[in-house]
Structure formats: structure tokens, C-alpha cells
């Protein structure tokens, strides 16, 4: 995790594994700050003209990641936005650079138990359509945790917190980070 405060555009970028609450917290935080809400997965669906599950099934993960990279590359034009990213956004170095250039990057971190509780039985999660979803989550978390850590300016452990609590705490951090912009 980055330790030095960086100069960035006044945007908050939420990263983290699926099921950590990025979309929920982004909605609440955008209302609290009066910032626009940007959901990169929704933008990917709009560009592709089909749901993420179909992108994965018909075009493959590589095609999804290409669209995702294009969407993330456009974040630099955003200002006063809270951005919810997909869980794998940090898997490409170019994406991490785009995220860090776009604003304050916050990693919402949750343990395997919380993630499994939140995502089990969700057929809209293409990476969990495996024989052993728990093993998939554990493996992906092990791969991605160092990437989230490296990309993030701040880390919030969300296991014991509600979406409201996370958003409220982040609102205060964001106000300190950006000062009078908020």
C-alpha cells in the first residue's frame, strides 16, 4: 500500500475482491460527498451490449479485460466521482496506473468467510462458476491481495462493518485527502 499522499484528481476509486461491498459503498459515498457515481462494470455492459456473464461465456475473460482496460483508461477525465471497479481491475499493470492517476484508491478488504457469505449462489459471478467456488475465491484472493495492496492509498477492512459505516468513515478520509474540494 502506498504510504505517501499523492496529488490526484478529486475522485475516489474503490478496488477489492468481489463481494467486498464496492458497489454498495460507492452509492452511499457518492451521495454523502455529492460526487457522481461511476460503476465500471455497468459501463462495460453498456459498451459490450450484453451482461458480463455473456461476455465471459461468448468472448472470454480476455475480451472482458480489454473492455475493462479501455473503461479504466477513461477515468482520468472524471472529476468529483466515486468509482466502483470490478474485482480483477488490478490484474493489469496499465489498469493500476490508470486507477492511481484518476484519484484516491481505496481497497475494500474482506476475508474469505465474508466473501463466501455474500457471493454464494450468485450466478452473475462468472469466475465462481467452478466445481469449488471457495477454492477459487481463496486462490484469486491470494493472487490479487498483493496487487490491491500495491495499488491502494488506503485499506479498509470491511468484515465487521456495514456499508453505511464504511461509507461514513471513507467520507471523512476523503475530505481529509482532498481538503476543500469536498
Tens-digit pLDDT profile for residues 13-60:
999 999 999 999 999 999 999 999 999 999 999 999 999 989 999 999
CB 162, CB 123: distance < 8 Å: no
Which pLDDT score, from 0 to 100, does residue 3 have? Answer: 46
Q: Which of 1, 12, 25, 13 is CA-nearest to residue 118? A: 25
% of residues, the chain, pLDDT over 90: 74
* Percent of the chain surpassing pLDDT 70: 91
H/E element holding 37? Answer: strand 36-39
State mean pLDDT over 125-129: 68
Q: Which residue has the cell 463466501?
A: 116
Mean pLDDT of 116-126: 75
Question: pTM score, two decimals?
Answer: 0.91
Cell representation of residue 55? 461476455
Rounded Cα gap, residues 113 and 60, in angstroms:
28
Q: Express each pLDDT in 165-178 by its tens digit.
A: 999 999 999 999 98
> What domains are there in the chain, each with its CATH number?
11-176 (3.40.50.300)
Query: Does the structure show a pLDDT above 60 at 2?
Result: no
Q: Calculate the average pLDDT of the chain.
A: 90
Closest CA to 41 of 11, 9, 65: 65
User: How far is 150 from 137, CA to CA, in rounded Å?
Assistant: 20
Half-sphere exposure of 90 (CA within 13 A, CB side): 25
Calculate the CA dihedral of residues 22, 128, 68, 64 and round it to 10 degrees: -160
* Burial category of 5 from C-beta neighbours within 10 Å (exposed 0-12, middle 13-18, buried 19 and up): exposed
Q: What is the pLDDT of residue 179?
A: 82
Interacting residues of 34 by C-beta distance below 8 A, sequence separation 6+: 80
Amino acid at each position: 500500500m502506498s504510504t505517501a499522499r499523492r496529488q490526484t484528481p478529486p475522485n475516489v476509486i474503490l478496488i477489492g475482491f468481489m463481494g467486498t461491498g464496492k458497489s454498495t459503498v460507492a452509492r452511499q459515498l457518492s451521495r454523502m460527498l455529492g460526487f457522481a457515481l461511476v460503476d465500471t462494470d455497468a459501463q462495460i455492459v453498456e459498451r459490450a451490449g450484453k451482461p458480463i456473464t455473456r461476455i465471459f461465456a461468448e468472448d472470454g475473460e480476455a475480451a472482458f479485460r480489454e473492455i475493462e482496460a479501455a473503461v479504466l483508461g477513461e477515468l482520468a477525465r472524471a472529476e468529483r466521482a466515486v468509482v466502483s471497479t470490478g474485482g480483477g481491475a488490478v490484474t493489469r499493470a496499465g489498469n493500476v496506473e490508470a486507477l492511481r492517476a484518476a484519484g484516491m484508491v481505496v481497497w475494500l478488504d474482506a476475508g474469505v468467510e465474508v466473501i463466501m457469505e455474500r457471493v454464494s449462489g450468485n450466478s452473475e459471478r462468472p469466475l465462481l462458476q467452478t466445481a469449488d467456488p471457495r477454492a477459487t475465491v481463496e486462490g484469486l484472493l491470494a493472487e490479487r491481495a498483493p496487487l490491491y495492496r500495491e495499488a491502494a492509498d488506503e485499506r479498509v477492512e470491511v468484515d465487521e462493518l456495514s456499508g453505511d459505516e464504511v461509507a461514513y468513515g471513507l467520507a471523512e478520509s476523503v475530505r481529509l485527502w482532498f481538503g476543500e474540494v469536498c
